[in-house]
Structure 1
Amino acid sequence: MINVLLTELAKVTQGEIFGEDVVVNQICTDSRSITANCAYLALVGDKFDGHTFCQQVVEKGVKILIVNQPQTNLAEHVSQLVVKDTLIALGQIAALNKQKANVKTVAITGSCGKTTVKEMLAAICRTAGKTLATKGNFNNHIGVPLTLLNLEESDEFAIIEMGASQAGDIAYTVNLATPDVAMVNNVAAAHLEGFGSLMGVALAKGEIYQGLSSSGIAVVNMDCDYVETWQQDLDNLKQIGFSSEPFADLYYSDLVLNQNLCPEFKWHYRGQSYSVTLNIAGEHNAQNALAAIACAIALGISAENINLGLSQAETAAGRVSIKKPNANLTVIDDSYNANLSSMKSAIELVSKAEGTRIFVMGDIGELGQESQAIHSEIGEFVAQNKIDKFYTKGQMSRFAQAKAENHFASFDALIEQILIDINTAVEADQNAKLTVLVKGSRSQKMENVVNALVQSNEEKV
């Protein structure tokens, strides 16, 4: 965070100061990880009130509080900024810090792949300058402000991921970030409970383009079915379109997967062509890479830096992460989250693996009335691809499962069956190759399956 006086924060939040005017250089909202140098901002949620920890953080050395009402019985040296709503104040202070930072900013959203695109773009930007990128899943109305508060004067690029569970979420966060470049990676059947329909998802994601100024650049996935939905916002903006087909400003060709299931392809922009090999598995990640390339071009980054960054980019945990606990077994850990589109991409990926292909599926959450139909569609898609064994766990995933004996109520029984499959195959052939794809929504905690498979098989190395 860039140093700022408490009086300046009082001005942007329309708050009142009790105590001395002091310099603020860090804001924390979690009392468990507080340090003495932080200003503590007390958030209030449905099941918690950060104000109950004010005395505790002061005892840890905190000298600045940002609160909804004055706190009593505190040491005299503690300064308080009293605001109407600390959540709103968090956004206002974050926006101020962003204004003070001289940083080129990209805002990224989408139903699938936005975190992968963020990681790819961050890797590219780091080859050109100091870069701040969203960490983990800090992409909501609290996470985005906290990310913006980490901006420093020395940063040159900021890559901000934005999620949404309802209309208006992105409109709020994009106005805090005031990006130079904005992109919707795609629209798919995710969080339908909050949006009601795919059109609702598209409209909510498109809010990101409304946060661009007249000099901003909109990066547009021309393969998305909902581009026309955003056309009114896009008409007055400079655009860079990308596609898997050659009609767009930016496109790719000659796509193949290498022996590690990682894409190799050529990308083309304005008559120039470049070859690149990704370090992230999955044919669908060529499209994610194209999105990152388009954003990098919008930032003015060279093709050489783009390819260097892409070659160094790594996937985030639980997102098509390849684990090889021994010579026989490959585990594709795609357990972080799931929707219909990403499920199909992952199934297509494992179907290209050598040897025995096993797919372990957990429920996709937040699908509302479409849940049964979407899970059934996944089951049909599995049947159309080269999957040797298909196991499911969860209340809704049973609708994807044609064989009742392959649906499990517990992790223990599921893991035991997969280990039997692995042991049986290796006993029959010491050189047997097995690939296990594990995927489901965050709520399903499918990483438990990944961890058990890796740990059980590492012991045999």
Structure 2
Amino acid sequence: MARLSLAAIARAVRGEVILGSRPPERGAEHEVDGYSIDSRTAKPGELFFAIVGPRLDGHEFVKAAVAGGVVAAVVAKGGAAKYPDSPALIRVKDTTRALQDLGAHVRRARPLRVVGITGSAGKTTAKEMTAAVLGQRFPVLKSEGNLNNTYGLPLMLLRLEEIHEAAVLEMGMSSRGEITRLVEIADPDIGAILNVLRVHLEHFGTVQKIAEAKGELFQRMRKDAVAVFNADDRLVARLGRAFPGPKISYGVTAKTARVRAEAIELEGLRGSRFILRSDGGSVPVSLALPGRHNVFNALAAASVGIVLGLQGEEIRRGLEAVRPASMRGVLHRLPSGVEVLDDSYNSNPAAMERAIESLRTAAPRGRRVLVSGDMLELGPYERKAHARLGTQAAEAGIDLFIAVGPLSQRAADAARAAGGVDVRHFPDAETAAAFVASDVRPGDLVLVKGSRGMKMERVVRALLLQDGDDAPGGAGHAGGPA
């Protein structure tokens, strides 16, 4: 955690320290123990930023944060009279800007290798792989949870400690300009764009506009930074070629790719094997994450490692150490004999297609069961996307297709029309969970996936609770494909 005094923070964010009637022990030179934007989780000794968001105004929660023991609050409204119990305040013009500027200040305070990763899908897995690769040589800070936006990314940078020599940061977005601001804050030395897919269409309208928004990463990076890009993705390759500085491409089919995967062997839920080849050298890699898409994520991580001078064996060790992140492909083998593949964190048409392929190539003793929640934010494409999903599920030989949510009614109808699959539809995850928990049999493989807003983890939780496992990571947790 970046330990800074209130005075140093005020200088970094162009603010003013206002000491209260009962100021911190060292006054303006008091060092904070951490940083928070949530009064419910703020800890004693931390600095609370009163963020003004689209729904809530953090200034209304300063009193609660102070009651919880924070040492000071960053505010843009009012002063000591408004917050009489606060030991100290830092008065600024804009609290969100202050948080971002402080993150930027900490990032630039000392030498640090910063990697920014964006893409329509796979950001978290690519981040985990990249951190594991770089971790073979450097102490690494990596993004946690959903801290990948204009609030979360600066909070991650504020967790930097003296020991860290590299930072691997996810960069998410839901509108134009967000990636630009994240680049301004993080100033990445290496930027990676993984893919451009049909997601967030509700906000952007077209895939081309999504590409333009993702492309802000390369447009805004320093010209001496390095662009890493997927040469097999047409839109991404165009963005990469346009970058005026140094660049490195990766891929499977593109002849121009500098980092390549050859002799790929997909091994179902056990993962995959391939030969990683670059600059005349090669190394065999065995991934514990299933699916061809994870080979691409591994290539992105390997490319970053190559840019930073890691050797093939270091890259291999890093990649082979990675296991699925929570709710992103974790396999639970339950005592009852049921297997649950928890991919419930999010969904989009391309990711769902990959999930169905993983289920198709698996060889369970019992049924292949797909529990699919609505894919949200697809705009005018949502009807077609859900109908296509239902057809794909039927054609993949799924034994039981459980569609969840109002949009997924179209998927259920399409699957029934295609035939050859038992189809059920439920309005929400709660009702689907009750059915799935009562219907599964020993030997079944159940894949659960859906957009974040559908809360499909409730289906996973119902299966784990029924089998005596009280939470993901409990007794029945297999830690990913094995």
The aligned residue for residue 429 of structure 1 is none
CA gap of 1:24–1:170, structure 2 versus 1, over 3 A, is farther
The aligned residue for residue 395 of structure 1 is 406
The residue type paired with residue 366 of structure 1 is E
Shift of 1:102: 2.1
- Report the secondary structure of 1:293's partner residue: helix
Shift of 1:210: 2.4
Work out whether 1:373 is the aligned partner of 2:384.
yes
RMSD, aligned CA = 2.3
Structure 2, unpaired ranges of 5+: 20-26, 418-422, 470-474, 477-482
Listed one character per residue, the Cα deviations across residues 307-345 of structure 1 (whole Å, up to 9, x for unaligned) are: 111111121111111111136321111110001110000
Q: 1:64 aligns with which of 49, 72, 75?
A: 72
1: CA distance, partners of 2:254 / 2:82:
68
- Say whether the 8 Å CA contact 2:196–2:236 is kept in structure 1: no
Listed one character per residue, the Cα deviations across residues 6-54 of structure 1 (whole Å, up to 9, x for unaligned) are: 3443334332232353244432222222233212221122332222333
Work out whether 1:449 is the aligned partner of 2:467.
no
Alignment of 1:89-108 (within 5 A): 89-108=98-117
The residue type paired with residue 10 of structure 1 is A
Q: 2:426 aligns with which of 396, 401, 408?
A: 408
- Say whether the 8 Å CA contact 1:67–1:82 is kept in structure 2: yes
- Report the secondary structure of 1:315's partner residue: coil
2: CA distance, partners of 1:421 / 1:5:
58
- Say whether the 8 Å CA contact 2:194–2:236 is kept in structure 1: no
Alignment of 1:254-273 (within 5 A): 254-258=263-267, 260-273=269-282
Structure 1 window deviating more from structure 2 (410-419 vs 245-254): it is 410-419
Structure 1 window deviating more from structure 2 (323-332 vs 88-97): it is 323-332
The aligned residue for residue 37 of structure 1 is 45
Q: Tell me the TM-score normalised to structure 2 length.
A: 0.88
CA gap of 1:53–1:269, structure 2 versus 1, over 3 A, is same
- Report the secondary structure of 1:252's partner residue: strand
Structure 1 window deviating more from structure 2 (445-454 vs 60-69): it is 60-69
- Say whether the 8 Å CA contact 2:231–2:249 is kept in structure 1: yes
The residue type paired with residue 457 of structure 1 is D
Structure 1 window deviating more from structure 2 (342-351 vs 310-319): it is 310-319
The aligned residue for residue 439 of structure 1 is 449
> Percent of aligned positions with the same letter in both sequences?
34
The aligned residue for residue 10 of structure 2 is 10
Structure 1, unpaired ranges of 5+: 427-432
- Report the secondary structure of 1:183's partner residue: strand
CA gap of 1:59–1:390, structure 2 versus 1, over 3 A, is closer
Structure 1 window deviating more from structure 2 (18-27 vs 120-129): it is 18-27
Shift of 1:126: 1.9
Structure 1 window deviating more from structure 2 (295-304 vs 161-170): it is 295-304
2: CA distance, partners of 1:80 / 1:328:
57
Q: 1:359 aligns with which of 354, 362, 370?
A: 370
1: CA distance, partners of 2:68 / 2:402:
50
Aligned residues: 452
Listed one character per residue, the Cα deviations across residues 31-78 of structure 1 (whole Å, up to 9, x for unaligned) are: 222233212221122332222333333344433221103132656983
Q: Tell me the TM-score normalised to structure 1 length.
A: 0.92
- Say whether the 8 Å CA contact 1:125–1:131 is kept in structure 2: yes
The residue type paired with residue 407 of structure 1 is H
The aligned residue for residue 430 of structure 1 is none
- Report the secondary structure of 1:81's partner residue: strand
2: CA distance, partners of 1:437 / 1:162:
27
- Report the secondary structure of 1:135's partner residue: coil
The aligned residue for residue 214 of structure 1 is 223
The residue type paired with residue 29 of structure 2 is V
- Say whether the 8 Å CA contact 1:246–1:252 is kept in structure 2: no
Shift of 1:269: 0.5
Listed one character per residue, the Cα deviations across residues 342-376 of structure 1 (whole Å, up to 9, x for unaligned) are: 00000000001113211111100011111101111
1: CA distance, partners of 2:163 / 2:112:
9
The residue type paired with residue 416 of structure 2 is K
2: CA distance, partners of 1:365 / 1:77:
42
Listed one character per residue, the Cα deviations across residues 153-188 of structure 1 (whole Å, up to 9, x for unaligned) are: 220110000101011111101110001100111010
1: CA distance, partners of 2:41 / 2:428:
35
Alignment of 1:337-348 (within 5 A): 337-348=346-357
